[in-house]
Amino acid sequence: MNSSINIIPQPNSVIMGQGSLDLGSIDKIFTKNNSKEEQVVAQFFQDLLKPIDILKIERFNGYRENNIVVALNENINIPSEGYHLKIYNKSIVLEASTPGGLFYGFQTFRQLCDIKLESGLLPENITIPECTIEDHPKFKYRGMHLDVSRHFFDIEFIKTYIDMIALHKMNVFHWHLTDDNGWRIEIKKYPLLTEKSAWRIDRTSDPWKEQSPPKENETPTYGGYYTQDEIREVVNYAAKRNIMVIPEIEMPGHTSEVFAAYPELSCKGEFLPVNPGSYWPNVDIFCAGNNNVFDFLENVLEEVSELFPAPYLHIGGDEADKSNWRKCGKCQRRIKQENLKDEHELQSWFIKRIEKFILSKNKKLVGWDEILEGGLAKTATVMSWRGMQGGVQSAKAGHEVIMCPTSHCYFDYYQASPENSPEAFGGLITLKKVYSFNPTPKELTEDQKKLVLGAQGNLWTEYVQTPQRAQQRVLPRMTALSEVLWSGPGRYSYEDFYARLPSLIGRFDILNWSHSPGTFAVSINPDYNEKNKNYKINITSEKPGENILFTTDGTIPKKTSNIYSKPINIENKTTIKAAMFMNENEFGPVSEKTVYFSKAMGKSVLYKTLHSDRYPGSGNLTLVDGMTGTTAYNDGYWQGWQEKDVEVVVDLENSVIINKISVSFLESQKSWIFLPSAIQVSFSDDKTIFDNNRNIKIENRTPNNNPNRQLFEINPIGVSARYVKLKGINLKKCPEWHSGAGGKTWVFVDEIIIE
Pairing of strands 178-179, 182-183: antiparallel
How many Å apart are CA 331 and CA 252, to the nearest integer?
13
Backbone angles phi, psi at 393, to 5 degrees: -60, -40
Gyration radius from the chain CA atoms: 28
Q: Are 443 and 129 in contact (CB under 8 A)?
A: no
DSSP 245-268: EEEEEEESSS-GGGGGT-GGGBSS
* Known catalytic residue at 321: no
Angle in degrees, 0-180, between the axes of helices 155-167 and 467-474, rounded to the nearest 10:
20
Which residue from 395, 405, 407 is spatially nearest to 444, judged by alpha carbons?
A: 395
Mapping DSSP to helix (H, G, I), strand (E, B) and coil, where does residue 730 land? Answer: coil
Cis status, amide bond into 716, omega within 30 of 0: yes
241 dihedral zone (left: phi>0; alpha: psi -120 to 50; beta)? alpha
Cis status, amide bond into 252, omega within 30 of 0: yes
How far is CA 423 from its chain centroid? Answer: 17
Name the strand (E) or helix (H) holding 615. Answer: none
How many Å apart are CA 23 and CA 114, to the nearest integer?
11
In terms of residues, how long is the chain? 755
How many Å apart are CA 521 and CA 541, to the nearest integer?
7
* Known catalytic residue at 163: no
Instruction: Kindly state the DSSP code that residue 7 receives in the 8-state scheme.
Output: -
Instruction: Kindly state the DSSP code that residue 360 receives in the 8-state scheme.
Output: H
Cα dihedral: 357, 359, 364, 365 (round 10) = 30
Name the strand (E) or helix (H) holding 613. Answer: none
Name the strand (E) or helix (H) holding 110. Answer: helix 99-112
Mapping DSSP to helix (H, G, I), strand (E, B) and coil, where does residue 175 land? Answer: strand
Which residue from 97, 95, 126 is spatially nearest to 108, judged by alpha carbons?
A: 95
Angle in degrees, 0-180, between the axes of helices 228-239 and 291-307, rounded to the nearest 10:
50
Q: Are 595 and 571 in contact (CB under 8 A)?
A: no
How many Å apart are CA 612 and CA 749, to the nearest integer?
12
How many Å apart are CA 251 and CA 365, to the nearest integer?
12
First to last CA, the chain: 53
Mapping DSSP to helix (H, G, I), strand (E, B) and coil, where does residue 68 land? Answer: strand
Instruction: Identify the active-site residue in 151, 174, 176, 254.
Output: 254
What residues are paired with 574 via a beta bridge? 595
How many Å apart are CA 349 and CA 563, to the nearest integer?
61
Sorted by sequence, the CB contacts under 8 Å of residue 266 that are 6+ apart come out as 258, 259, 272, 284, 285, 286, 287, 324
Instruction: Identify the active-site residue in 22, 318, 319, 345.
Output: 319
Instruction: Kindly state the DSSP code that residue 410 receives in the 8-state scheme.
Output: B
Q: What angle do CA 554, 558, 562 make, to 5 degrees?
A: 75
Beta strands, E only, 461-590: 523-529, 534-540, 547-551, 562-563, 568-569, 574-582, 585-586
Q: Are 4 and 481 in contact (CB under 8 A)?
A: no
Angle in degrees, 0-180, between the axes of helices 155-167 and 99-112, rounded to the nearest 10:
80
* Known catalytic residue at 179: yes
Instruction: Identify the active-site residue in 38, 81, 135, 179.
Output: 179
Residue-wise over 78-100: b if at least 16 C-beta within 10 A, else e?
bbebbbbbbbeeebbbbbbbbbb
How many Å apart are CA 667 and CA 746, to the nearest integer?
9
Residues labelled as active-site residues: 179, 254, 319
